[in-house]
Amino acid sequence: MQEQLKAIQQEALANIQEVNNLKELQAIKVSYLGKKGSLTQVLRGMGKLSPEERPIVGEVANQVRETITSAIDEKNTVLENAALEEKLQAEAIDVTLPGRPTKVGGPHLLTKVIEEIEDLFIGLGFEVREGPEVETDYFNFEALNLPKNHPARDMQDSFYITNELLLRTHTSPVQARTMKEYKGEKGFKMICPGRVYRRDTDDATHSHQFTQIEGLYVDKDVKMSDLKGVLNLFAKKMFGEDRDIRLRPSFFPFTEPSVEMDISCKVCHGNGCSVCKGTGWIEILGAGMVHPNVLEMGGYDPKVYSGFAFGMGPERIAMLKYGVNDIRQFYLNDSRFLKQFHQA
Amino acid sequence: MLVSLNWLKEYVDIDGVSPEELADKVTRSGIEVDNIEYVAEKSSNVVIGFVESCEKHPNADKLNLCQVDVGEEKLQIICGAPNVRQGQKVAVAKPGAVLPGNFKIKRAKLRGIESNGMICSLQELGFDEKHIAKEYAEGIFVFPNDAPVGESVEPLLNSSDAILEFDLTPNRADCLSMLGVAYEVGALLEKPVKLPSEEVTSTEEKAADYISVKVEDENLNPYYGAFVIKDVEITTSPLWMQNYLLAAGIRPINNVVDITNYVLLEYGQPLHAFDYDRLNSKEIVVRSAKQDEKLVTLDDVERTLNPENLVITNGEEPVALAGVMGGANSEVTIATKNILLEAAYFDSVSIRKTVKATGLRSEASTRYEKGIDPNRVKRAGIRACHLLEKYAGGKVLSGVVEYDVLDRSEKEVDIDTDTINNRLGTNISSDEIGNILNRLQFNFDRNEHHFKVFAPTRRGDITIFEDMLEEVARIFGYDNLPYTLPTGSATAGGLTKSQLLRRAVKSYLEGVGLLETRTYSLTSETYIQKLISNEIKDLNPEPISLAMPMSEEHKYLRLSVLPELLKSISYNLARNQYNLGYYEIGSIFITNEKELTKQPNEQLRLSGALTGKWFEHPWQMENKKVDFYVVKGIVEGLFEHLELPITFKQVQLPDMHPGRTASLWLGDKEIGFMGQLHPALEKEMDLKETYVFDINLEVVLQAHHHEPSYTQIPRYPSVTRDIAFVLDQEVHAGDVQVAIAKMGAPLVKQVNVFDLYTGENLPDGKKSVAYNLLYQDPEKTLVDEEVEKSYQEIIESVSKQFNAYVRS
């Protein structure tokens, strides 16, 4: 009987090896291991064996069954893999054909610049404020130390609506409004982005509407060196760690001392080239220590409080940073322009 | 202000400092130097020569054969200039000379005759036109008779001079004078200032015998000084003076006028010379002009005056527009013998008004407008007398006839070392502060760490502590300030809720494929009335127009963002950009007032415009044009994003497609509209089929109060059912949807439209709309009977309410 079993095993293994599809493999399985399979048939004869023979033959029979079963399983895996492989081959596509486009929108370049600056100053503890675009003469000029007959406030330069109301010429009125809100009672840091208007004829470098970001920090013991430190941080984050700043004395009615900030030219790093017109430096923004008259009109005692303020033009920053050479591009909304900057 | 460095050297030592270095120093301490200009390019071996003889060239009509003495030798030179004459002193480029453009002068033969050098024009010596007096604009330059033969031409021509262009901020009017510049440069280089000579040899005759001065309004004219100079000889001014004037951008005229201009530039004090004999009177009266009084000014223009204009009169009629321009009737001419010289202080506001009214802006008026030094008014007059004596042969009569109530006191400003360091964040010693004050040549009293500074009157900008703080800081050097960060009370920075939400709205819209735009807030009369949302119209807004618009295109403050946005769309179409999805967040300006007395309400709107293809995938033959439902999907998605319930109602609006427009509602509040533009407007604005939306963003942001909290995920299975209703065409699918949801509540959690059908198998005027209903009970598993009961109720109710029946 043992020989019989060995013969079955040999025959089965030979058959399994030869088979090359799952269906036939299944048939082989049935023909050996099924209820009427040859192995099963042989095992049915076990009962006729003597009690001594039975365990010995039983062990052999089990070995044979296991060998055949595992050979079938093994072959089954091989055949399944082959079948899957074949299916996948048939499913192959041309991955170089274009995909179905997803609409990609994006922010305006100015928004991108403004939000970058906002986030930078938020990190330094500044709140972001806004103010009206139609301003009173008082907040736009008077509260900023520009009294009525001041030469710097020419009717010709501003879009007046009435004698007392105009389109704000800068975001600085928000300085005065914020101070009023804090009632001279505590220190604060704020920036204010927004649209502003001047009576300019639109050309490559002028726009009757543009944007500004105003910054104001009022507290006890604000120092000019703090202004320098904050502006330096801003310039390096905005334009690159390898850029330097320099401050030059300047004049604005609402600050004293006043400052003009330059950054080193990215092309020549301060040595002078055609980009910076040989100076090595590019003007970025105006700033200064808040004029005592402005603090006082805002309700802050200039003997106790001091502050610094700065104002910058996102258009100018965008032009310098991205090489835009015509300010009108920001307002024409040419899709070919907008799409150049909508990436993350 | 154009600053000639050769001229500046007269007052302050700048040797060893290159023009570039000086420009950098000046720029970094507060006055931007915009430009450095050299009067002429470098040339070598050009000397003064004397033309001993000048004859016609035997072989050429237009050439002259000159024998020129150049000191060590005599040169035969052929010269083509029409103005060359015997007896002239001229600029001679000797053989071996190199002229600008690397032009080397060699011995040569011209038409058979030897020429050993070249007699030069200023152009040939590399002078820019603007540095050439007009008589030498063509032909060679002729030196005065006393020019030293054989010497280099450079000193007399001032050709090595460099001119710095100072871009002065309004507070630095002191640098509208060479002396002011000298003080500034002196402070920077730590050099003293040398003052010019004001020596005058007065005659015994008294000026008071020739003139009297009367001033009507002491506020408008607190000082008027009249000097009388007799027997002047009108001629050209010395070459050096002409050169300096040219360098400063002023054309030389004659010695008397040049001297007044020279002192104007030197002291920053405007002066005016009248022809004394043409005044026809012995008095000067300064008064306001009478209404419509006439004066012909030096530029030969008749000016009609009014009482806002201050005039100088001879007691009868105006002879000058005070501080602005002299009158033609008393102008100095070639025949002038006796001069009345005016040195006065006029109120800046009054001068500004006259300048504005007449449009006349002169070197004089600019200085008066910005404020002059009260301590230099009279001194400038004396300085001019010194020069008139020296260069015009004038006899200065003794005494100045003056009206004088001028305040010449110096402002006292107290500063102390601690406060200065505290404000600057520095550690400057008191001695260093003292040194800075000395460099600035400011007088002060010092008491250890306290200084009482007497701000010189030339620096009218210094009145308070902070002004001195800036002076100390800028001389100390902004570069030397340390970098520190704020140490005061900590503040939590950040965006407001509204700002955060706006960013969320923007990122949603950009995520679904829209590009953000920025358009102008000012629009035209045509567009101001267009595409105004209903809820804005209900406010009866009055258009707000500018008092002085720059153009018709930008005259009104917008009442809708859409028209300017559509202009951008049109701009793109004209450039073959057809597929556009734009949005903008911007303010509109609302008022009820016809004449604005208070600020208008500024309302933030969210507007969008879409046109062309929304997406396209040609090789898979997918192609989707922008239509109503594309835009509606974007709007719905936005409100889903904000968790606000938005509803759409069919509406008809001007300029919008009558059948494809919806008003947007948040509860019972109308908040905007969306839909297709009316084809007539599309045509008018050169647009193709375009869809827009316009939403009151402010209301939306206020309504938003979403604070998410966890809701249990349903544990029991849901059941879905479909129903298709046959409806009349006019019935709105959305209304049926709402009715189903209402009827099915609370078990029906969602109702969606999944099919719309018209056509075959349906009667005319009917449509079939299929809805998918989602049933869910959070408490238990639904049983069929419950669902079926609700389903039947819905069918019955909808059928009745909408005259509908179920499509089988």
Q: For residue range B381-425, list pLDDT tens digits in order.
A: 999 999 999 999 999 999 999 999 999 999 999 999 999 999 999
B42-56, B471-485, B541-555: least confidently modelled range: B42-56
CATH of domain B207-404: 3.50.40.10
A155-164, A299-308, B476-485: least confidently modelled range: A155-164
**pLDDT tens track for A264-288:** 888 787 777 877 777 788 899 999 9
CA A56, distance to chain mean position in Å, is 75
Whether residue B139 has pLDDT greater than 90 = no
> Among residues 92-151 of chain A, which lie with CB inside 8 Å of chain B?
97-98, 100-108, 110-111, 115, 118, 121-128, 130, 132-136, 149, 151
Percent above pLDDT 90 for chain B: 83
Interface probe for A, chosen from B515, B522, B528, B582 (most Cβ of A below 10 Å), is B515
A250 to chain B, any CB pair closer than 8 A? The answer is yes
Query: Looking at chain A, how many residues does it have?
Result: 344
B759 to chain A, any CB pair closer than 8 A? The answer is no
How high is the pLDDT of residue A155? Answer: 64
Mean pLDDT value across chain B: 94
Q: Number of helices (H) and strands (E), helices first, in chain A?
A: 12, 9
B554 to chain A, any CB pair closer than 8 A? The answer is yes
A222 to chain B, any CB pair closer than 8 A? The answer is yes
CA B422, distance to chain mean position in Å, is 34
Strand, helix or coil at B451? strand
Structure tokens at B100: 């600008």
Q: Contact A291/B474, CB-based, under 8 Å? A: no
State which H helix or E strand residue A258 sits in: strand A255-264
**pLDDT tens track for B60-90:** 888 999 999 998 899 999 998 888 999 999 9
Whether residue B706 has pLDDT greater than 80 = no
Rounded CA separation B417/B472 (Å): 10
CATH class of B411-480: alpha beta
- CA of A336: which chain B residue's CA is closest? B577
Phi and psi angles of residue A199, each rounded to the nearest 5 degrees, phi first: -80, 70
A303 to chain B, any CB pair closer than 8 A? The answer is no
- The CATH label, of 3.40.50.720, 3.20.20.150, 1.10.10.10, 3.30.70.380, for the domain at B719-806 is 3.30.70.380
ipTM of model: 0.88
State which H helix or E strand residue A119 sits in: helix A109-123
Q: State whether CATH 3.90.950.10 applies to domain A109-338.
A: no
Strand, helix or coil at B171? coil
Give the CATH architecture of domain B497-703.
2-Layer Sandwich (3.30)
A300 to chain B, any CB pair closer than 8 A? The answer is no
Distance from CA of B581 to the nearest CA of A (A): 8
Rounded CA separation B564/B268 (Å): 50
A217 to chain B, any CB pair closer than 8 A? The answer is yes
Q: Contact A98/B481, CB-based, under 8 Å? A: no
Whether residue A295 has pLDDT greater than 90 = yes
- Beta-strand ranges (E) seen in B57-190 are 64-69, 74-79, 89-99, 103-104, 108-110, 113-115, 118-119, 142-143, 162-167
**pLDDT tens track for B647-701:** 999 999 999 999 999 999 999 999 999 999 999 999 999 999 999 999 999 999 9
- The CATH label, of 3.30.56.10, 3.40.800.10, 3.40.50.300, 3.40.50.970, for the domain at B2-38+162-189 is 3.30.56.10
Nearest to A268 by CA among A260, A259, A258, A278: A278
Q: Taking residues A178-197, report their average pLDDT.
A: 95
**Domain residue spans in chain B?**
2-38+162-189, 44-157, 207-404, 411-480, 497-703, 719-806
Query: Which residues of chain A are within 8 Å of residue B494 when distances are taken between CB atoms?
Result: 122, 127-128
Whether residue A17 has pLDDT greater than 80 = yes
Whether residue A311 has pLDDT greater than 90 = yes
B62 to chain A, any CB pair closer than 8 A? The answer is no
Nearest to B246 by CA among B233, B229, B265: B265
**pLDDT tens track for B604-616:** 999 999 999 998 8
Structure tokens at A113: 């610049």
**pLDDT tens track for B188-245:** 999 999 999 999 997 889 999 999 999 999 999 999 999 999 999 999 999 999 999 9
Instruction: Check if the beta carbon of residue B350 is closer than 8 Å to that of residue B216.
Output: no
Output the CA–CA distances (angstroms, integers) from residue A88 to A77, A324, B521, in the order listed.
16, 51, 59
B476 to chain A, any CB pair closer than 8 A? The answer is no
Nearest by CB to residue A229, choosing from B485, B598, B599, is B485
Rounded CA separation B229/B444 (Å): 39
β-partners of residue B127 are B40
Distance from CA of A137 to the nearest CA of B (A): 11
Nearest to B469 by CA among A231, A153, A302: A302
Same fold, B2-38+162-189 and B411-480: yes
Rounded CA separation B46/B40 (Å): 13
Structure tokens at A78: 């091989």
Sheet-wide strand order for A305-312: A127-128, A188-197, A209-220, A305-312, A281-290, A255-264, A245-252
Q: Taking residues B435-445, report their average pLDDT.
A: 97
- The CATH label, of 1.10.3720.10, 2.40.50.140, 2.40.160.40, 2.102.10.10, for the domain at B44-157 is 2.40.50.140
Q: Quickly list DSSP for A314-328.
A: HHHHHHHHH----TT
CA A68, distance to chain mean position in Å, is 61
Q: Taking residues B352-376, report their average pLDDT.
A: 92
What letter would DSSP give residue B494? B
> Among residues 10-49 of chain B, which lie with CB inside 8 Å of chain A?
27-30, 32
Rounded CA separation A155/A148 (Å): 11
Q: Contact A128/B495, CB-based, under 8 Å? A: yes
Beta strands B212-215; B283-288: pairing state? parallel
Rounded CA separation B575/B560 (Å): 25
Instruction: Check if the beta carbon of residue B57 is closer than 8 Å to that of residue B111.
Output: yes
Interface probe for B, chosen from A155, A335, A341 (most Cβ of B below 10 Å), is A335
A325 to chain B, any CB pair closer than 8 A? The answer is no
Which comes out higher in pLDDT, residue A154 or B135? B135
β-partners of residue B726 are B768, B805
Instruction: Check if the beta carbon of residue B690 is closer than 8 Å to that of residue B681.
Output: no
- CA of B550: which chain A residue's CA is closest? A199
- CA of B468: which chain A residue's CA is closest? A257
Whether residue A152 has pLDDT greater than 80 = no
B249 torsion bin: left (phi>0), alpha (psi -120 to 50), beta (else): left
Output the CA–CA distances (angstroms, integers) from residue B442 to A201, B8, B22, B808, in the order listed.
44, 20, 22, 102
Nearest to B427 by CA among B504, B482, B488, B354: B482
Query: Which residues of chain A are within 8 Å of residue B369 when distances are taken between CB atoms?
Result: 151
Interface probe for B, chosen from A182, A223, A237, A276 (most Cβ of B below 10 Å), is A223
A259-268, B1-10, B269-278, B652-661: least confidently modelled range: A259-268
**pLDDT tens track for B564-611:** 999 999 999 999 999 999 999 999 999 999 999 999 999 999 999 999
Strand, helix or coil at B245? helix
